[in-house]
Structure 1
Amino acid sequence: MLTLSLVVTSCSLSKNVREERKIINGNWILENVGYESNGGSFKSMLFNDANGFCFEGSTWYFLENNSTGSYTIPTTNSVCSGGARNIRWSVLENENGNNKLQFKYIDEKKKDIYGRTGYRLDIVSLSASQMTLKSDVNVDGSPVSVVYKFSKQ
């Protein structure tokens, strides 16, 4: 009985992660993609999918009960390949700082498309109406942070 309780306890989500998942659940609009660095302008390819500016105005859907969702890039111009992309998502607890939202691409049958490849973004702030995520990358050897600002629909 003790072994069973240890297994159940070790596999359960922390209260903090459960709360963040509940808040994230639903529809969001990615209002702005910004960059924090030492200066300069950037042309970025985000999530091996599209240019950063293509993601502005994209709609994101997170379904908490089965950890799936999608995002849809609008077809505002010929540079952006619009349409929906299916994802599996979760919140990764980080004891040393902000938790992370992680996701990977899945197909219509909810199977991983690229194997174990996925993306992790720091949860900088999260409320019932706003979410800010950040990912750190290197550009020509210099650190740059990509900042994603969402509003809940």
Structure 2
Amino acid sequence: MKKLSIIYLFVFMIIGCKSTSVTNTKLDNKTERMLKGNWTITAVNFAGSEYLKVNSFNIEDSNCFIGSNWSFISNNNEGEMALNNPSTDCKDFSSPITWYVNKDRNFVLKIINNHKAKDVNSGYILRLNNVTENSFELIDKINVAGQTKDITYSFQRK
């Protein structure tokens, strides 16, 4: 009986210590299907944007993402993003991406950029907001003078 109690205690501890990491939660397949397709970022907003520059996704200034094109494939959680605004001083950039939406409405993004997805160990967790058939927002957290602020990327369906 004592061995059985120890086994139950061990099983209880394993179940009780289950990870609640953002990357380990269940997927929101319905929302992922809503995002399937081609999108353009129409605006990037954050407090102090008229005075500050933010390097988005460690790629380029946040304003360079306005007009960028994104494609999301929901059945394999892959896609592509491309910055190609010829009217600005921004560099061109494109990369395959992997992405998914979890049940907590977090959008988890990896920018692959000439690597295999399994070799990319870093990514971004953004909050998904205001999802409709033709628009949605991704909200990231940035540090501005020691304070955490939101930066909002507004997407429109192409």
What TM bracket, shorter-length normalisation?
0.7 to 0.9
**Structure 1: which amino acid aligns with 2:86?**
T
- TM-score after normalising by structure 1: 0.78
| Aligned equivalent of 1:54, options 54, 61, 64 | 64
Superposition misfits of 4+ residues, deviation over 6 angstroms: none
Structure with greater helix share of residues:
2
The equivalent residue for 1:111 is 116
Residue 116 of structure 1 deviates from its aligned partner by 1.4
User: 1:18 maps to which residue?
Assistant: 29
In 2, distance between residues paired with 1:90 and 1:73? 21
**TM-score between both structures, scaled by the size of structure 2:** 0.76
Q: Deviations over 1:42-71 (max 9, x none)?
A: 201000111101000001000011111011
- The alignment's C-alpha RMSD in Å is 2.4
Equivalent residue pairs, number: 135
User: Which protein has the larger Cα radius of gyration, Structure 1 or Structure 2?
Assistant: 2
- Show structure 1 runs of 5+ residues with no match: 1-10
Gaps of at least 5 residues in structure 2 are: 1-23
How is 1:1-153 mapped onto 2 (pairs within 5 angstroms)? 13=26, 17-36=28-47, 41-77=51-87, 79-94=89-104, 99-107=105-113, 111-112=116-117, 115-153=120-158
Q: Give secondary structure in 1 for the equivalent of 2:64.
A: helix
Looking at secondary structure, tell me which structure has more strand per residue.
Answer: 1
